[in-house]
Structure 1
Amino acid sequence: MTLDRRQFLASSAALALSGLSLPLHAQNWPTRPIRLVVPYPPGGSSDIIARLISEPLAAELKQTVVVENKPGANGNLGAGLVVQSASEGHSLLLCDVGALAISPSVYTKLTFDPSKDLRGVSMLAYSPHVLAVHPDFPAKTLAEIVELSKTRRVNFAVTAIGSAPHLAAVAVEQATGAKWEYVPYKGGSQALTDTVGGQTDLIMNGLLATLPHIKSGKLRAIAISKAERMELVPEIPTISEQGVKGFESGTWQGIMAPSNMSDATAKLVSEKLGEIINRPDIKRKLGEQGAEVVVRPTKELDAFFVKERDRWATIVKSADIRLD
């Protein structure tokens, strides 16, 4: 072998090694099945969206996508599991991004820091909260509910203490002088079940998961937490027009990933998700249930997370909500 030949082979090996030194995710991700973690029980808004996008995402990425429900601690258990899986590089988190942004203000002993240990991949959809009651509940408007709460116990079902629906309810309570008796659950699906069954009077929950119960007559809508009435349900007045001026809240479903995911991989997944969630059949299914497709790429999602964290921290502090 001549010297030139040896030099050529050495240069080729060096180039190959330099390529291998790049993050694996940037070159040929995914190399194994993807775990899509939903940190809430089945039947909620995040779970509904996960089931809609998992098969199309698997087809686009040419890898199996397995949806796993890991409820607990208001979504923090599932989020923590995704953070812990950072080294294997194939776990994604589909959650209410706003709820995750609340956690650092509420929980004193989080095992992870969402702002540092997770990164945004893509926002997917927005579903406003809807305030609804059991059909036999006597009050018909927000004002009537507020007055009733001053004379009798009004049991208010919340998906979890410190959740986005809970803080939205607290904000309405503070603005109106109402007096709710909060009944916490481990997820929206069970809170809905008990309100439908009459065990609780009132619920604030994402419209995506709640609208089927309203359409069936099992719940009666009082108000929606959007700035303006929705074309889908124009008969439901807003909270703002019932006295809490400018009030707006909701669930923001998005995909997060461990912070060590490469920019190239995050961009790949974000682009695939943006295409999938905007497909006419998926967009139609979500729209029929009260969710709007809202796609925001990685950096915009990170900025949104920071804004939501700061926004809700004020309400958490004023209500003195702290959990271990």
Structure 2
Amino acid sequence: MKRRDIVLASAGATLGALPAWAQTPSFPKPGSTIKYVVPFPPGGLTDVMARTVAQKLTEAWKTSVIVENKAGGNAQIGAEQVAKSAPDGSSLLAITLTHAANVSLFPNAPYSLTKDLRPVALLAGSPMLVVVPTGSPVKDFKDLMAIAKSKQLNAGSSGNGTPPHLTMALFNDLNKTQMTHIPYKGGAPSMTDLIGGQLDVIFSNFPESIAHVKGGKLRALAICGLSRHPMVPDVPTAMESGMPGLYVENWTAAMIQAKTPDAIVDRYSREMIKIMFSADVEERARQQGFRVSPKGAGDFAVFLKSEIERWNRIIRTAKITAT
């Protein structure tokens, strides 16, 4: 059995045995509109992935699937909108690692990720890339591990509680060091200062740094993935470099209002996995830096729980706050 066939079979099995009538719901209704809410500004990887999936859903179901950007509140505004939407499958939410961390960063949020929303599918992940200026004395990842123990280093990020910040905190936890965290309002300004030498290192989102690595302005020390990345095949993984625990992917996934019927969730889950395994989408995703390894609703639920628990521990250990 092929890998995609196994995953597709898993997608159906994860929701349990549904009665025959529930396996073919009249969803979506002809002429209806589905909102795919992205709680980030347009143009980012999550937005690009959502638009790709929305287009494919539109083509497959002959209905209108529209991406709606609802940025703000550390990705909580859009999430709250879907959490409080009608449980009829008409609203989807794009989520990332940020939402798993938000469970700990915002304990008094106006919605509950785990109670007001339910998993639909995990789509893909983009590994974090550890980068330094090309003129840095840090030549490889083992250098970084050693120098961080003997000298106070400054590590930039796109903001408090963001994936680059969390990855840095995980590095500190594993390496028993204390880098100084310098938060920025976004990834671009932090990259500018890293290139200019005002920062020592960034545990960056892959798409924010890869062009600078290719252009010779930054040196990539390690990739925080399961394997080397085809866009930078000479860059070893953190595991190869002596830190197997530094595995971090900024993944993207879909959730839906918690009371949405199983049959609708199952239909979304199966179709999204099929979309991710289609040749054109899989290739496009890889070119954007993603590792394509989708999971159905049940497997994604297990993964999401583990991510929430993992980052809760790091956030508490590093005493990370959202501000």
Distance 1:67 1:297, change over 3 A: same
> Separation in 1 of the partners of 2:254 and 2:47?
12
Q: How far apart are residue 262 of structure 1 and its match?
A: 1.5
Q: How far apart are residue 250 of structure 1 and its match?
A: 0.9
> Separation in 2 of the partners of 1:128 and 1:243?
17
Q: Which runs of 5+ in 1 are unaligned?
A: 1-21
Q: How far apart are residue 200 of structure 1 and its match?
A: 4.3
Q: How far apart are residue 267 of structure 1 and its match?
A: 1.4
The Cα offsets for residues 13-46 of structure 1, whole Å up to 9 and x where unpaired, read as xxxxxxxxx99x9433255322222222334321
Rg comparison, structure with higher value? 1
Partner amino acid for 2:218? L
Q: How far apart are residue 146 of structure 1 and its match?
A: 4.7
> Separation in 1 of the partners of 2:42 and 2:190?
12
> Separation in 2 of the partners of 1:53 and 1:306?
24
- Structure 1 counterpart of 2:315: 316
- Structure 2 counterpart of 1:291: 290
Partner amino acid for 1:120? P
> Separation in 1 of the partners of 2:90 and 2:138?
49
RMSD (Å) for aligned C-alpha atoms = 2.9
> Separation in 2 of the partners of 1:162 and 1:43?
21
What does 1:168-207 correspond to in 2, within 5 Å? 168-185=167-184, 187-188=186-187, 191-192=190-191, 195=194, 200-207=199-206
> Separation in 2 of the partners of 1:57 and 1:218?
39
Aligned-pair identity (%): 32
- Judging by fraction of residues, say which structure has more helix: 1
The Cα offsets for residues 74-113 of structure 1, whole Å up to 9 and x where unpaired, read as 32232122213236752211121x3322222222321111
- Structure 2 counterpart of 1:224: 223
Partner amino acid for 1:127? S
Distance 1:150 1:115, change over 3 A: same
Distance 1:311 1:217, change over 3 A: same
Task: Report if aligned partners of 1:229, 1:236 keep a CA contact under 8 Å in 2.
Answer: yes
> Separation in 2 of the partners of 1:297 and 1:188?
31
**2:290 is aligned with 1:300:** no
> Separation in 2 of the partners of 1:127 and 1:237?
16
Partner amino acid for 1:230? H
Q: How far apart are residue 198 of structure 1 and its match?
A: 5.7
Partner amino acid for 1:131? V
Paired residues, number: 301
> Separation in 2 of the partners of 1:214 and 1:41?
24
The Cα offsets for residues 130-184 of structure 1, whole Å up to 9 and x where unpaired, read as 1112334442223433555567664423233223332221010122244323233
Distance 1:212 1:293, change over 3 A: same
Task: Report if aligned partners of 2:124, 2:251 keep a CA contact under 8 Å in 1.
Answer: yes
Task: Report if aligned partners of 2:39, 2:72 keep a CA contact under 8 Å in 1.
Answer: yes
> Separation in 2 of the partners of 1:88 and 1:38?
18
Name the TM-score, length of structure 2 as normaliser: 0.81
Task: Report if aligned partners of 1:92, 1:256 keep a CA contact under 8 Å in 2.
Answer: yes
- Structure 2 counterpart of 1:120: 119
Q: Which runs of 5+ in 2 are unaligned?
A: 1-20
